[in-house]
Amino acid sequence: MLAAGIHGFILAFGLILPLGVQNVFVFNQGSIHKQYRRVLPVILTASISDTLLITLAVLGISVILLQIAWLTALLLTAGILFLIYMGYLTWRSKPSEVTAKQEAFSAKKQITFAASVSLLNPHAIMDTIGVIGTSSLTYSGPAKITFALACILTSWMWFFALAFVGHQVGRLRKSNGFLDILNKISAAIMWGTAIYLALTF
């Protein structure tokens, strides 16, 4: 079981580490909000969404769902459109000292956006199913549960840490120019991901 836990940790960490839309959004919200506790909605939503995807992947349910052609097409289309919309909002965001409070997403908006970039991101879904779901097939019983829990725990720790680092960066670098550049980079990554998904549709 220990080997399964270590495998799950390394695998989940490797998948979650790259700078994707979900990570950028969590980091960005952490850097914008003045209080770390105000980023909890996005952290918890991203973590719960990943927990759901990992659980479905390990149980094999997600593989069955993605075999339905129209559902796969719907997921891809919704994901692409939402990434374009999010990129537009992020690009137009102006994190000046005067408007910082207004630009920081409310709890409701954090939850909505975090759930969308997690559950409507076909790339993340494919990664979860293709890598975590497939890897879980080598285990059974308690070892499989340990593997899944290790993946889930890694995801939770990562989002809490990522938001914290973003928060510290936001505190250290109060420059409007820095946050504006961060927003532009975030928007570019979102649009780039949308283009990639559209080309591979």
Q: What tokens were used for 46?
A: 């991203």
CA distance 156 to 46: 8
- Domain boundaries of the chain, sorted by first residue: 2-199
Residue 144, CB half-sphere, CA atoms under 13 Å: how many?
15
- Give the contacts of 106 (CB within 8 A, at least 6 positions apart): none
pTM of the model: 0.73
CA distance 164 to 145: 29
* 198 closest CA partner among 97, 118, 90, 79: 79
**Average pLDDT per block of 10 residues along the chain, 201 residues long:** 84 72 83 85 92 88 69 73 77 54 66 80 69 79 91 94 87 63 74 76 61
- Chain-centroid distance of CA 8 in Å reads 18
Look up residue 39 and give its DSSP letter: G
CA distance 189 to 20: 7
Q: What is the pLDDT of residue 63?
A: 63
* 63 closest CA partner among 131, 161, 150: 131
Contact indicator for 190, 83 with CB cutoff of 8 Å: yes
Q: What is the pLDDT of residue 179?
A: 64
Q: What is the pLDDT of residue 198?
A: 78
